[in-house]
Structure 1
Amino acid sequence: MRIASVLENQNIEKRIAITPEIAKKYIALGFKVILSKKYGEHLGFKDKDYKELGVEISNNDAEALVGANIIVQLGLLSDENLSLLKENQTLVGVFNPYTNKEKIENLSKRNINIFSLEMLPRITRAQSMDILSSQANLAGYKAVIESFANFEKAVPMMMTAAGTIPAAKVLVVGAGVAGLQAIATAKRMGAIVFATDVRMTSKEQVESLGGKFLTVEGDENLETEDGYAKEASGEFKKKQEELLAETLKKIDIVICTALIPGKKAPLIIKDTMINNMQSGSVIYDLAAVQGGNTAFTEVDRIVVKEGVKIMGETNILNKLPVSASNLYSKNVLNFVSNLYDKENKKININLEDEIIKKTLIK
């Protein structure tokens, strides 16, 4: 069995799907690993590091892809590389089926097996494959670091002979994986942390990390069976807006993480709320690429409104590509191991397996 990966478009994606450590594990499972030239060089993983493990380095993408049984990536291949794929090849990655519907339909018609890992079910057995959690964890951490770097005051409380500097107040909007890591990071750095989420199950988790959970009166639990947030009712949104508007007047830093899978990010922080925030405050919007949680978010730009900085990036994980690649490649290895029939040395697409059934795009 041959497993391959080629370099992503470096302008938008610096992560890789096979690190040297993971290449070694694929080889131990009986795979032949093929990578494109200079595959991990930008992260400090040289071709010779891979070759010493027994990895084959191809001269170009076509050479790597054509003979592969499984191809693992971060996102969809370029149109040129997609045209090289043949019947019964298996593609594994994060393919955003909602936004790439037409391309994925074309691949499916050509009998190419497409597994999109953001569709993994939230079950215990799939935790080691959960790319959303591993990557969101890093994103939540980095969002706090980036916002603190742009905040022009000290974050922890400092008592000096010249007087006391109060601790910065941080609000985390959305207490999923990214939000919880943001709370933990901000708390470790000495901030006073508040959090809000539409899922009442988040309250205990927020408080266990030392954050204060902002409760909307008459809360409704807006959580799907899969553990994701769902859209709130009009009445709930109105109550949440009132609570947020009042809270934001005393907040220094806001980390927005609210996303609904497959939909535009909910608009949570309105223009009037931002106008009432303290000048010098910072908002980091992790939902920027899906439209943003604030009225003024622009991707890859720092927008200043009434002295408030609003930030958001296409891919914040490009600032932590080594750590993100290490975690992602382990997630993918665990998924491929579940898909691989070791005895018969073939891919086993067992649709009775919930993990395989939910991630296979038809």
Structure 2
Amino acid sequence: MVTIAVTAEGPDEPRVAVSPETVKKLLALGAKVRVQSGAGLRSRFSDDTLKAQGAEIAASAAEALAGADILLKVRRPSSDEVKQLKPGAFVAALLDPFDKAALEPLAGTGASLFSMEFVPRISRAQSMDVLSSQANLAGYKAVVDAASLFGQALPMMMTAAGTVPAAKTFIMGVGVAGLQAIATARRLGAVVSATDVRPATKEQVQSLGAKFVAVEDEEFKQAQTAAGYAKPMSPEYQAKQAELVANHIKAQDIVITTALIPGRPAPRLITRAMVESMKPGSVIVDLAAERGGNCEATVPGQTVEVGGVKIVGPLNLAGTVPVNASSLYAKNLYAFLELFFDKKDKSFKVNWDDEIIKGTLVAKDGRIVHPNLVPQSAA
């Protein structure tokens, strides 16, 4: 029987890689689930709740890991953790794969490493799309946090004493996080506008009742990769877009930035001059803070103030709603692990040619193997 280990995350990560619901489902696949005591507490999954669904509760991380076949984590585990698993064990986590200096020692353990960031964007893999499930929560929480910092009401209110104007909210980057931010800001009654360099997003923005703001030239019409990501834009386009944004941003009360390109520093969308042009009391929440930030004034992990404008640089916004984030992440992992099991005879079978397994595999047999991480000739 395959043993799946789940250990507690570090002090900065409140999420956990399993939920009571997925414990039950993993057991139904034919696996045994061993969870370190207390691993789920910050997500309100008590040992007793997990145990009631069939999990074994291990007193320590070492006990949970000893001889396990699979390790499920939120963040990248240490090499020491992986070495306690069975030789050639499988690890599935958010491995931050472009940090090769940290990935190489992990690959050297000989474990098969699966990076959940690399789940292919195909319809069959939607239930495993960790980036989307977590970004959705981050987009929601960004607006809620901004509203609490703003110090004014978001919706227009008609009162006998006069009218409270609606707050103007601008969303930069219309992926999963951006769309959820638009929807949340609209629900709270703000006047919402949004921008993105991908032409397909215009219709999505307008369907949510927001105004679309972008330089719509020929380059804009070609600005999306086959995988659905934004392409890096030319300096000429960036200059035109920056001018348009600079004029628009002056009148905004809340700005949420969400623009990220995998494996690259976050594109710089808001200059210090743009921040200084905003009204005192305005709020910027920068969801790209982990990659350096979309705003020039962002300090990752801190809230700073420039000319009365608050700039928030959260490092793990989905983790601030850990109950929901862990539940969704655990479901993503379960959907992924289903690929490794034959449901008829409840056996562990790996089809290394499956495009999802191949797409997420970053290291095997002591080597980094993912084509995005090694030179094409070596791959």
Class of the TM-score when normalised by the shorter of the 2 chains: over 0.9
Q: 1:30 deviation in Å?
A: 1.2
Compared CA separation, residues 360 and 344, structure 1 to 2 (3 A) = farther
Q: Which residues of structure 1 form unaligned runs of 5+?
A: none
Superposition map of 1:325-336 within 5 A: 325-336=326-337
1:256 pairs with 2:264:
no
TM-score, normalised by the number of residues in structure 1 = 0.96
Counterpart in 1 of 2:206? 207
3-state SS in 2 of match to 1:63: helix
**Of 151-160 and 106-115, the range deviating more from structure 2:** 106-115
Counterpart in 2 of 1:108? 107
Counterpart in 1 of 2:124? 125
Counterpart in 1 of 2:356? 355
Q: Distance in 2 between matches of 1:144 and 1:204?
A: 21
Q: 1:243 deviation in Å?
A: 0.4
Amino acid at match of 1:223: Q
Q: Distance in 2 between matches of 1:17 and 1:41?
A: 12
Q: 1:79 deviation in Å?
A: 4.2
Amino acid at match of 2:334: L
1:98 pairs with 2:98:
yes
Task: Show CA shifts across 1:148-180 (max 9, x none).
Answer: 000011110011122111100100000000000
Q: Distance in 2 between matches of 1:32 and 1:86?
A: 14
CA contact (8 A) 1:129 1:330 kept: yes
Q: Distance in 1 between matches of 2:162 and 2:238?
A: 41
Amino acid at match of 1:311: V
Amino acid at match of 1:264: P
Identical aligned pairs, as a percentage? 49
Counterpart in 2 of 1:167? 166
**Of 12-21 and 342-351, the range deviating more from structure 2:** 342-351
Q: 1:98 deviation in Å?
A: 0.5
Task: Show CA shifts across 1:227-257 (max 9, x none).
Answer: 1112111111001101000001111100000
Superposition map of 1:43-122 within 5 A: 43-99=43-99, 101-122=100-121
Amino acid at match of 1:278: K
Counterpart in 2 of 1:269? 270
CA contact (8 A) 2:269 2:295 kept: yes
Compared CA separation, residues 205 and 195, structure 1 to 2 (3 A) = same
Q: Distance in 1 between matches of 2:52 and 2:119?
A: 34
Task: Show CA shifts across 1:311-362 (max 9, x none).
Answer: 0111112210000001000010000001223456554332321111110012
3-state SS in 1 of match to 2:284: strand
CA contact (8 A) 2:69 2:85 kept: no
Task: Show CA shifts across 1:189-209 (max 9, x none).
Answer: 100000000100000111110
Q: Distance in 1 between matches of 2:284 and 2:46?
A: 38
Compared CA separation, residues 30 and 86, structure 1 to 2 (3 A) = closer
Task: Show CA shifts across 1:264-286 (max 9, x none).
Answer: 10111001111111111100000
**Of 209-218 and 146-155, the range deviating more from structure 2:** 209-218
Counterpart in 1 of 2:321? 320
3-state SS in 2 of match to 1:91: strand
Compared CA separation, residues 103 and 153, structure 1 to 2 (3 A) = closer
Q: Distance in 2 between matches of 1:203 and 1:321?
A: 31
Q: Distance in 1 between matches of 2:309 and 2:116?
A: 36
Superposition map of 1:160-199 within 5 A: 160-199=159-198
> What number of residue pairs does the alignment pair up?
360
Q: Distance in 1 between matches of 2:104 and 2:79?
A: 14
Q: Which residues of structure 2 form unaligned runs of 5+?
A: 363-368, 370-379
Amino acid at match of 1:302: T
Counterpart in 1 of 2:374? none
CA contact (8 A) 2:43 2:326 kept: no
CA RMSD of aligned residues (A): 1.4
Q: Distance in 2 between matches of 1:269 and 1:347?
A: 49
CA contact (8 A) 1:302 1:309 kept: yes
3-state SS in 2 of match to 1:167: coil
CA contact (8 A) 2:139 2:178 kept: yes
CA contact (8 A) 1:217 1:239 kept: no
